[in-house]
A = this chain, B = another copy of it.
């Protein structure tokens, strides 16, 4: 008797939306969110530590791609949507299950955006409509594996995937890291959109962080305007945090 093939499942923490994407290459875009569970990194300033630090392990869900898509539709309720952002944690930890979810989205007219740090490759990256590769700078206390990252960027460029590279900015070391990374790929002749994103130093406070974030953006803009190594970048805030603070699930 042939063994029945099991449908692969997605490990995730939550779905929410419709909301607005607050950062990066589709900033301002109306989107649903899927937040996957688990991460191969543990960034010092991570603003979603609950996806990997164990504190919400009891909330982790496992469901088939079709079940996740159904939950997205149920969550949106009477509102329709045409874009899904997959974030984490690191969503690249999900394998065949995620590939199937992307296909289901596309069959239903929903485009898919994804953000990942570039530490793990998945072939389904080729199917993503807007892909953000966000290697983590020194302030994260993580180390970049450039062999993996270079290979990933080479593949995405070769297959003409709509992707960008985004670096979080907290301090001078981060900016140095960003400049070196941008130069690394410019020197290969790659015309990739490069983003800098202002980091949120207090992602868990309920205080008003609007002024702090705007001041930090102004600081970054001043640096960008005066540095020819940063000619090609787009420097942006986390607009959702400016508007809504650290509220979760929006």
Contacts and interface: CB of A to CB of B under 8 A. Distances in A.
A235 to B, nearest CB: 5
A5 B221 CA distance: 43
Interface string A226-243: 101011111111010011
B243 A18 contact: no
Nearest to A236: B28
Contacts of A30: 224-225, 230-235
If over half of A's interface residues share one DSSP class (helix, strand or loop), that class is named, otherwise mixed; here it is mixed
Contacts of A122: none
Contacts of A236: 27-28, 239
Copies of this chain present: 2
Nearest to A78: B228
Interface in A185-206: 195-196
Given A30-B235, A217-B243, 19 more contacts: A19-B225, A20-B221, A20-B224, A26-B234, A27-B27, A27-B28, A27-B236, A28-B195, A29-B234, A30-B224, A30-B225, A30-B230, A79-B228, A81-B231, A83-B231, A83-B232, A214-B242, A221-B243, A242-B242
Interface of A: 17-20, 26-30, 79-83, 195-196, 210, 214, 217-218, 221, 224-226, 228, 230-237, 239, 242-244
30 contacts: A17-B225, A18-B225, A20-B221, A20-B224, A20-B225, A20-B235, A27-B236, A28-B196, A28-B233, A28-B234, A28-B235, A28-B236, A29-B233, A30-B225, A30-B231, A30-B233, A30-B234, A30-B235, A79-B225, A79-B226, A80-B228, A80-B231, A82-B231, A82-B232, A214-B242, A217-B243, A218-B243, A236-B239, A237-B239, A242-B242
